[in-house]
């Protein structure tokens, strides 16, 4: 904040506020009320929040908790927040708030405009860089939580052929997967997508349907399960009855691309280096790039965080960064093959947090 000349930092989203305060609640599901954390250049954070959250914020390290009786549409915290910012930053100090890539301001846009007018339009600056730099490098405590959920989801994926079979629908297979993750100790499973289809599938982000799984199908499940507020994010693929040669070739190519990504992941390499390492393997097999737009990303309090493994992301990897290695390619009749592993960057290179996917596509035969 000193380097950027900021007198205060304003945070408004779940991950930002939890990261700096420890405030942990699923209450963010409700879009009704805005929540704010103000970080002075020196001193402890100040919470400016709806009264309903005072008890929950009271168990964090934040001591200065200012509340208003939300919802109060005419002035839903805006004046209280403006007063707090003026108090903390003085009448002219710059206020940083994340306004850049992968961020949003979680309050009504009209209220944010009003806040900027009230505090002084020119005083607001983009502070994405500060938050991004801190959040990208995880502490050992954070890594431990991610490792825990990755191990648990690895167990569940390995057990998948024992609890899902032909005759299950996509919907029942997804429900079973969620139940097994919870039984294993996941706190919640906010993300579970996937697809199935004869010979493969194209859509990798859709909700499960009532489609019945049968011989010749391929299925992919991609899960973001959570332990203590930290995500895993990886997928596994399964063939039903038998695997076609085309499926096997695509699986092998993407498996090899994953190996190349893991081998490249070390301090000093860039996100773009990871992209090229994986893309080169797939290109050598004549694969065409899919529509995913990147071959992996950061991971932590959110399912996806900075950086992005694209040709243009020059973020330099550092020890402590937790990222996914996620090559995907198109094959056959518009099908998509996607693999994913989660790793932490160590001085010596990549340390796997997920248990490596099988080196040949698993076939569920019953």
Site for a second copy in 262-301 (CB under 8 A): 291-294, 297
What residues numbered 166-185 form the site for a second copy, per CB under 8 A? 171, 174-175, 178-179, 182-183, 185
Asked whether position 44 contacts a second copy by CB under 8 A, the answer is no
Facing residues of 288 across strands? Answer: 330
Asked whether position 212 contacts a second copy by CB under 8 A, the answer is no
Asked whether position 316 contacts a second copy by CB under 8 A, the answer is no
Residue from 69, 91, 268, 286 binding a second copy (CB under 8 A): 69
The answer to whether residues 226 and 189 touch, using CB atoms and an 8 Å cutoff, is yes
Asked whether position 191 contacts a second copy by CB under 8 A, the answer is yes
Segment interacting with a second copy (CB under 8 A) among 47-55, 88-96, 154-162, 346-354? 47-55
Structure-token pair, residue 167: 């005759």
Nearest Cα residue to 281 out of 257, 248, 255, 251: 257
Asked whether position 102 contacts a second copy by CB under 8 A, the answer is yes
The answer to whether residues 287 and 329 touch, using CB atoms and an 8 Å cutoff, is yes
DSSP states of 245-314 as a string?
A: HHHHHHHHHHHHHHHHHHHH-STT-BHHHHHHHHHHHHHHTTPEE-SS--S-EE-SSSSSEEEE-STT--
- Show the binding pattern over residues 115-144: x = contacts a second copy (CB under 8 A), - = does not: -----------x-x----------------
Asked whether position 302 contacts a second copy by CB under 8 A, the answer is yes
Total number of residues shown for the chain: 366
Residue from 90, 92, 101, 163 binding a second copy (CB under 8 A): 101
Residue from 37, 62, 70, 250 binding a second copy (CB under 8 A): 70
Q: What DSSP character marks residue 60?
A: S
Asked whether position 314 contacts a second copy by CB under 8 A, the answer is no
Segment interacting with a second copy (CB under 8 A) among 40-48, 82-90, 205-213, 355-363? 205-213
Residue from 133, 205, 263, 316 binding a second copy (CB under 8 A): 205
Task: Please enumerate in sequence order all residues whose Cβ is within 8 A of that of 188, keeping only pairs 6 or more positions apart, or say none.
Answer: 26, 182, 225, 226
What residues numbered 1-40 form the site for a second copy, per CB under 8 A? 13, 15, 24-27, 29-33
What residues numbered 220-249 form the site for a second copy, per CB under 8 A? 224, 229
Residue 319: CB minimum distance to a second copy, A: 24
227 φ/ψ angles, rounded to the nearest 5 degrees = -130, 125
Residue 187: CB minimum distance to a second copy, A: 7
Facing residues of 364 across strands? Answer: 240
Q: How many residues interact with a second copy (rule CB under 8 A)?
A: 82
Rounded CA-CA distance 344/299 in Å is 10
299 φ/ψ angles, rounded to the nearest 5 degrees = -155, 145
């Amino acid at each position: 904040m000193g380097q950027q000349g900021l007198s205060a930092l304003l945070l408004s989203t779940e991950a930002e506020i939890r990261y700096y305060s420890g405030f942990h609640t699923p209450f963010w599901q409700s879009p009704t009320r805005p929540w704010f954390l103000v970080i002075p250049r020196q001193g402890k954070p100040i919470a400016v929040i709806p009264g309903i959250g005072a008890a929950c914020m009271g168990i964090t390290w934040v001591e200065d908790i200012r509340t208003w009786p939300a919802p109060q549409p005419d002035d839903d915290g805006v004046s209280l927040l403006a007063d707090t910012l003026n108090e903390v930053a003085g009448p002219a100090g710059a206020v940083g708030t994340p306004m850049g890539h992968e961020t949003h301001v979680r309050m009504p846009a009209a209220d944010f405009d009003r806040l900027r007018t009230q505090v002084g339009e020119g005083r607001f600056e983009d502070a994405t860089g500060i938050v991004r730099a801190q959040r990208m490098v995880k502490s050992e405590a954070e890594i431990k939580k991610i490792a825990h959920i990755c191990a648990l989801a690895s167990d569940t994926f390995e057990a998948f052929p024992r609890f899902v079979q032909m005759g299950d629908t996509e919907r029942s297979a997804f429900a079973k997967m969620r139940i097994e993750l919870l039984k294993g100790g996941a706190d919640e499973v906010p993300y579970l997508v996937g697809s199935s289809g004869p010979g493969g599938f194209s859509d990798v982000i859709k909700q499960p349907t009532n489609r019945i799984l049968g011989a010749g199908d391929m299925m992919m499940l991609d899960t973001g399960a959570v332990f203590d507020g930290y995500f895993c994010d990886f997928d596994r693929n399964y063939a039903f009855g038998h695997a076609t040669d085309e499926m096997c070739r695509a699986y092998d190519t993407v498996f090899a691309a994953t190996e190349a990504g893991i081998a490249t992941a070390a301090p000093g390499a860039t996100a773009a280096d990871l992209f090229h390492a994986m893309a080169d393997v797939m290109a050598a097999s004549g694969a065409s790039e899919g529509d995913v737009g990147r071959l992996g990303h950061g991971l932590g309090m959110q399912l996806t965080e900075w950086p992005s493994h694209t040709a243009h992301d020059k973020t330099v990897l550092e020890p402590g960064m937790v990222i996914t290695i996620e090559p995907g390619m198109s094959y056959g009749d518009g099908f998509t093959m996607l693999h994913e592993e989660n790793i932490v960057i160590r001085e010596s290179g990549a340390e796997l947090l997920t248990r490596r996917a099988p080196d040949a596509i698993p076939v569920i035969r019953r």
